[in-house]
Chain A
Amino acid sequence: MKSFFTLVFIVLSSSSFATEQAEQLFNQLKPSLYQIKLIDKASGEKSSIGSGFQISKDGILATNYHVISSYALHPKKYRIEYLDSKGNTGSLALQSVDVINDLALVKREMDSISSDDVTFFQLAQSAPHKGEKLFSLGNPHDLGMIVVPGTYNGLKKESFNQRIHFTGSINSGMSGGPVVNKQAEVVGINVATSGNSIGFLVPHDKLNSLYQDFLQAPPESIEQQMAAQLTANQNKLMSAILNSPWQAKPLGKQGIIPIIDVPFIRCWGNSNADKADALILTAVANCSLDENTYLSSRFYTGSMEIEFRYMQAKDIGANKFYHLYQQQIAHAGAGNRAGKDNVTQYQCHHDLVMPNNQTINNKIIFCTRAYKKFPDLFDVLYLSASIDKNKQALVSHFTIAGVNQKNALAFTRKFMEAVSWN
């Protein structure tokens, strides 16, 4: 009984200690926290909100790229404003962005009088350790600045661009807010949530390198900076994919498909083997890159999807099988969301192709569309349908968003050679 009391006491005291600590931290950091608002110039009302925090004496604020993305793409339509803890507002100027890691630097006009007693956040020197208590700060749903305690759970597994897995509830509007350790040092930036207290943060070193690059050479134009980052990122991604082992794996009775052995591409499978009345037995394997780059609410890039489909006719003739097979491949679509302002329409080429391994004969369709703001980047779509077996078919399909010509064609070539019959 005594031990129980002790236990309860310890639990109580530790939780009250945590609350106290959070309160103390919050009061200490409050002056350097800002709500960031995008104001639509024509209507004068805010069109999106997020959080931000000051990281330098001269008024540089860090936030998420997605908070200010509309301004970055349409600077004439919007202006950026901040709201500080005392209720003061003022305008902000966009300085630099990192679209891949969803970061942006904005600058606040500082008047010389107040610049002496200005406070700002310090970036941590090292990454936190697993289980470390962290505090996320931000302004969720425009409800006012809050602090949310949570736990550091390492880097998100299987991600191409690093994200911290934070156990604690992050809500929209907190985007761009800092996450600090007990020493009030920034270890990450709120960026996304997948509900149920699973939050994702951008590691602080990404912010550090963006800030250091900015100090050395501020970007000439945000658009060029974005183009360079997108190009560099797809080069990194595609060379990782092209240089990793591709394992040949059977699909269905006789299909051979490649499984790209990189942790950030994950595969799922399904089949209709349980459906007795199906005319065609179908087995599907889907692989995809589980992340994409946000450019605007109507324009995502950086995604990749791969799909393999094995089909076998059950009680139907070859002619009917091919009619149904054609219906299956007639409606492939883009893997990423993009609109008229961002991309051209797809243009396609199709031909009958037999790869050099001579084991399969395909009808192959290849389509591309170009990015209007970022020349040399394209979305590509590939669809290959085997046409050499009367009652079996193998479909291989992929889409890649935001890739250059060289990488797209290198991937296509390797992919074409990797699909075959057993």
Chain B
Amino acid sequence: MELTKEEFSIKEVVAKELIIEEINRNHKLLHRHKLDKPSINIGRDYHNDIILADPHVCPSHISIDFIDEQWQITDNQTVNGTFVENIKEKKHAANQHIVCDGDVISLGKSQLRLLFSDHTVEATVAFSPFESFINLMRHPLALFISITFFTLIAGSIIYFNKPIEVNFSQLLVPAIGMSLGFALWPAGVALVSHLSKQDARLMAQLGVSFALFNLMWFSDILETIVTFNSSSDTILPMLATFTSVILAFSLFWLNSYIGFHMSSKRRIVVSASITLLLFGGSYLIQYSKQPDFNPRPNYNATIMMPSFLFTTSSNVDEFIDNSSKLFDQTKQEALSE
């Protein structure tokens, strides 16, 4: 008997506490209140326990009372009413409704989520292994090094492709311009996460993005080397293209990891979609620009200086053999029309 009494009193304490969360339309948390009173008043005037600024809410809108071990909502004949929006049931009037854990009620244009203190929370999210990478990259020194590295590569690419003599400042200006241009992406992501009430983390975004941009340069060079060293029959250059897709996906994944709280499944879907949009979109643009008939041959002219040559060359017979296949291919094409 004693024991049950104990148990009862504990239960009463537990049940009496009600957590009321003010949430926005996307169910993002705005404010959280923890109350342990048997009767809670919610409305627009200043006598209430929870004061809502919403003009569609009445001065004394509702009260939630602890009666018979249960919380019950009473609507005070309000102008716009009070409704329960549950996932399980249809939206219905909240008057006399017995509160369940996790119920969402709407008053005017505001929404409240009602939780009991024994509400189970989601499992703790462990730091991902990327966290240490992100922390390293957001360090000012690391950030400075990666941006400098990026600018240097951009400058040298501009230098290599200029057919005329150029001086240092002629290279520096476009190279810095390019770095600033590329910095717009992480800055934009940071801005969006700031606007969506999340932590902007600009330095982390910049650090990670430039680290990935540098990896992309590197994969570009790798791709060129592979293309240079292989004949048109191999698929190795395709694999190199695949690498740049992977890198782009990683960049978007990390951007969203830093900037936005979302489930890992959703993060993968979002980053995959942006990657697809980028590569699919650029493919589509190229495809749409392609003329119906191209009188010029479309070939790969990649050449590099001898130190990048790693394969042995074919001999004339092999080349002639492979070239002779083209005659059959084009003839088939001609005959099929």
Contacts and interface: CB of A to CB of B under 8 A. Distances in A.
Given A319-B160, A344-B330, A353-B316, A334 B295 contact: yes
Interface string B157-194: 00111011100000000000000000000000000000
A355 interface: yes
A369 B305 contact: no
A383 B309 CA distance: 19
A347 B329 contact: yes
B299 A348 contact: yes
B331 A390 contact: no
A279 B165 contact: yes
Interface string B225-261: 0001101110000000000000000000000000000
Contact of A346 (B296, B301, B304, B319): B296
A354 B311 CA distance: 12
Contact of B296 (A334, A363, A366, A368): A334
Interface in B281-314: 292-307, 309, 311-314
A333 B299 CA distance: 11
A323 B156 CA distance: 11
B202 to A, nearest CB: 35
Q: Is the interface of A mostly helix, strand, loop or mixed?
A: mixed
Best-surrounded residue of B228, B294, B303 (most CB of chain A within 10 A): B303
B89 interface: no
Interface stretch (B96-104, B145-153, B320-328): B320-328
Nearest to B309: A387
B238 to A, nearest CB: 15
Nearest to A360: B313
Given A277-B165, A351-B231, A352-B231, A331 B296 contact: yes
A322 B326 contact: no
Nearest to A363: B303
B30 interface: no
Contacts of B322: 349, 351
A231 interface: no
Contact of A405 (B161, B299, B302, B327): B327
B330 A368 contact: yes
Nearest to A408: B327
A366 B326 contact: yes
A339 B296 CA distance: 11
Best-surrounded residue of B161, B231, B307, B326 (most CB of chain A within 10 A): B326
Contacts of B329: 347
Interface string A372-388: 10011010010101011
B298 A348 contact: yes
A330 to B, nearest CB: 4
A401 B99 CA distance: 86
B99 to A, nearest CB: 71
B334 A322 contact: no
A388 B306 CA distance: 5
Interface size class of A (residues with CB under 8 A): 35 or more
A152 interface: no
Nearest to A372: B334
Interface stretch (A34-42, A192-200, A411-419): A411-419
Contacts of A93: none
Contacts of B327: 368, 370, 378, 405, 408
A339 B333 CA distance: 15
A340 interface: yes
A18 interface: no
A27 interface: no
A412 B320 contact: yes
A332 interface: yes
Contacts of A10: none
A53 B98 CA distance: 109
Interface in B194-247: 228-229, 231-233
A368 B337 contact: no
A329 interface: yes
Contacts of A343: 334
Contacts of B320: 409, 412-413
Contacts of B298: 345-346, 348
Interface of B: 159-161, 163-165, 228-229, 231-233, 292-307, 309, 311-316, 318-320, 322-327, 329-331, 333-335, 337
Given A353-B313, A364-B319, 18 more contacts: A279-B165, A318-B305, A325-B303, A334-B297, A337-B295, A347-B329, A348-B297, A348-B326, A351-B318, A352-B314, A353-B315, A353-B318, A353-B319, A354-B313, A363-B228, A366-B323, A368-B323, A390-B306
12 contacts: A279-B164, A326-B301, A327-B161, A337-B295, A347-B330, A347-B333, A349-B232, A369-B297, A372-B337, A387-B309, A405-B327, A409-B320
The 7 closest A-B pairs by CB, nearest first: A346-B297, A351-B231, A340-B293, A370-B330, A370-B334, A323-B160, A354-B313
